[in-house]
């Protein structure tokens, strides 16, 4: 199975990198960009074949390592 | 005082920290590799140095915090051991769950490498007791991810419990916005654990702890540790 983990900053946590991207988009002429929030995508290949078990395992990985849950949210997507 | 410095791939302040600890204690610090599962017996102080452990992959300190030796460090801390984390060491202690809050990319997005002034906010800790009347010190910072983040409730709790060890200030001791090098909440530069025996800080007292390094403003931290350990013994 393959899983994708999306790690994003929680609402309310300042994102200076997102803000820098917003400025750069503005200087490239893209108007009307009101806000940019950046994060990361982690792709994981698993030997597990049961989707529910695989998803639960990846959620445990996210809690323990992939995301810092003090400042970040995560979302797991199974891609088959 | 028996101390140990933990060494990770990418640590680069480990020798400086060992020299500062060794000079204050009068006996050398042990160097402990991150793959070791146990700390040397009878330690009083464990120190986690600055650097770029594991290339800052994933998040600064995230991989180091899950390395074998850190289980032993967490056990040591839970038994009431004294643990000091400087710069990347602070990031590692937060990632290991030994200190609250988070450290994020500097608000300026720039690596900041210069001397800053710090106010010593409390003398009630084994790291700060020897600062005495020297309440504003000047030591270097060198980091890219040093913005200390705490929500309102955590910041208020740290304040109420006297757990803010250092703040970024100007030369007069005022915690102004201009004196804040990285956008840390409340100009916080260092925080203590609830038992006051774990300190994490972004600035580098070990880099100014000997006259040959150009100053001794950081030396009282290492004297504090020696005195705190001697009092117990």
Query: Residue B173 above 80 pLDDT?
Result: yes
Query: To the nearest whole percent, how much of chain B has pLDDT over 70?
Result: 100
* Sign of CA pseudo-dihedral B207, B136, B145, B30: positive
Question: Which residue in chain A is spatially nearest to B151 when comparing CA positions?
Answer: A13
Overall average pLDDT of the B145-155 stretch? 96
* Residue A44, pLDDT score: 98
The predicted-structure confidence for A21-62, as pLDDT tens digits, reads as follows 999 999 999 999 999 999 999 999 999 999 999 999 999 999
Domain housing B112: 3-232
pTM, two decimals, is 0.94
Q: Which of B101, B80, B111 is nearest to B189 (CA)?
A: B101
Asked if residue B233 has pLDDT above 80, the reply is no
Residues B104, A13: C-beta atoms closer than 8 Å: yes
Subunit contact B59:A68, Cβ cutoff 8 A: yes
> Would you place residue A80 in the very low, low, confident or very high pLDDT band (cuts 50, 70, 90)?
confident
- Over the stretch B13-69, which tens digit does the pLDDT of each residue have? 999 999 999 999 999 999 999 999 999 999 999 999 999 999 999 999 999 999 999
pLDDT confidence of residue A47: 97
- What CATH number does residue B98 fall under? 3.40.50.880
Residue B5's DSSP bridge partners are B31, B47
DSSP state of A74: E
CATH code at A2-79:
3.30.1280.10
Distance CA(A14)–CA(B180), nearest Å, equals: 16
Of A17, A65, A70, the CB nearest to B109: A17
Q: Where are the domains of chain A?
A: 2-79
CA distance A27 to chain B (A): 18
User: Average pLDDT, whole number, for chain B?
Assistant: 97
Nearest one of A4, A7, A27 to A67, comparing CA atoms: A7
Q: Tell me which residues of chain B, numbers 41 to 70, contact chain A at a CB-CB cutoff of 8 Å.
A: 58-59, 62, 66
Please provide the DSSP assignment of chain B as one string: --EEEEE-TTB-SHHHHHHHHHHHHTSPPEEEETT-SSPPTT-SEEEE--B-GGGG-SSTTTTGGGSHHHHHHHHHHHTT-EEEEETHHHHHHHHTTSS-SEEE--TT-S-EEEEEEEEE--S-STTTGGGTT--EEEEEEEESS-EEE--HHHHHHHHHTT-EEEEEE-TTS---STT-SS--GGGEEEEE-TTS-EEEESS-GGGGSBGGGTB-TTHHHHHHHHHHHHHH-
- Contact of B176 with B211, CB cutoff 8 Å: no
Contact A17 B105 (CB under 8 A): yes
Using the structure block, give the residue that is written with the tokens 């445990």: A60
**Is B40 in contact with B29 (CB distance < 8 Å)?**
no
Q: Does B144 touch chain A (CB under 8 A)?
A: no
Whether B8 shows a pLDDT value over 80: the answer reads yes
Residue B80 has pLDDT above 80, yes or no: yes
Q: Is some CB atom of chain A closer than 8 A to the CB atom of B149?
A: yes
Please give the pLDDT value at position B232.
Answer: 80
Burial of B178 (C-beta count, 10 Å sphere; 0-12/13-18/19+) = exposed
Question: What is the structure's pLDDT at B26?
Answer: 97
Indicate if the pLDDT at residue B194 is higher than 90: yes
Q: Compute the distance between CA of residue B105 and CA of residue B100 in angstroms, rounded to an integer.
A: 17
Cβ contacts below 8 Å, chain A against chain B, sum to 32
* B108 vs A: CB within 8 A: yes
Q: Does B78 have pLDDT greater than 80? A: yes
**B98-142: per-residue pLDDT in tens?**
999 999 999 999 999 999 999 999 999 999 999 999 999 999 999
d(CA B210, CA B223): 12
- The number of domains in chain B is 1
């Amino acid at each position: 199975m393959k899983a994708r983990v999306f790690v994003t900053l929680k609402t309310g946590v300042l994102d200076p990198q997102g803000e820098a991207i917003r400025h750069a988009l503005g200087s490239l002429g893209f108007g009307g960009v009101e806000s940019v929030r950046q994060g990361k995508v982690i792709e994981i290949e698993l030997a597990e074949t049961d989707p529910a078990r695989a998803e639960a395992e990846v959620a445990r990985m996210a809690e323990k390592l992939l995301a810092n849950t003090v400042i970040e949210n995560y979302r797991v997507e199974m891609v088959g | 005082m028996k101390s140990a410095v933990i060494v990770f791939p990418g640590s680069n302040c480990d020798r400086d920290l060992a020299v500062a600890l060794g000079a204050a204690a009068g006996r050398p610090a042990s160097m402990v590799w991150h793959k070791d599962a146990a700390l040397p017996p009878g330690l009083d102080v464990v120190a986690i140095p600055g650097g770029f452990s594991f290339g800052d992959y994933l998040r600064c300190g995230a991989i180091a915090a899950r390395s074998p030796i850190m289980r032993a460090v967490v056990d040591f801390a839970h038994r009431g051991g004294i643990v000091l984390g400087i710069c990347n060491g602070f990031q590692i202690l937060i990632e290991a769950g030994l200190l609250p809050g988070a450290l994020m990319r500097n608000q300026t997005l720039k690596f900041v490498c210069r001397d800053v002034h710090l106010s010593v906010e409390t003398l009630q800790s084994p790291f700060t007791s020897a600062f005495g009347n020297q309440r504003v010190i000047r030591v270097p910072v060198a980091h890219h991810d040093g913005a200390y983040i705490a929500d309102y409730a955590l910041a208020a709790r740290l304040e109420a419990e006297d757990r803010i060890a250092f703040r970024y200030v100007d030369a007069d001791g005022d915690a102004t916005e201009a004196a804040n090098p990285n956008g840390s909440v409340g100009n916080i530069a260092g925080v203590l654990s609830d038992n006051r025996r774990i300190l994490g800080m972004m600035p580098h007292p070990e880099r100014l702890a000997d006259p040959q390094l150009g100053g001794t403003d950081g030396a009282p931290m290492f004297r504090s540790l020696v005195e705190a350990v001697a009092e117990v013994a």
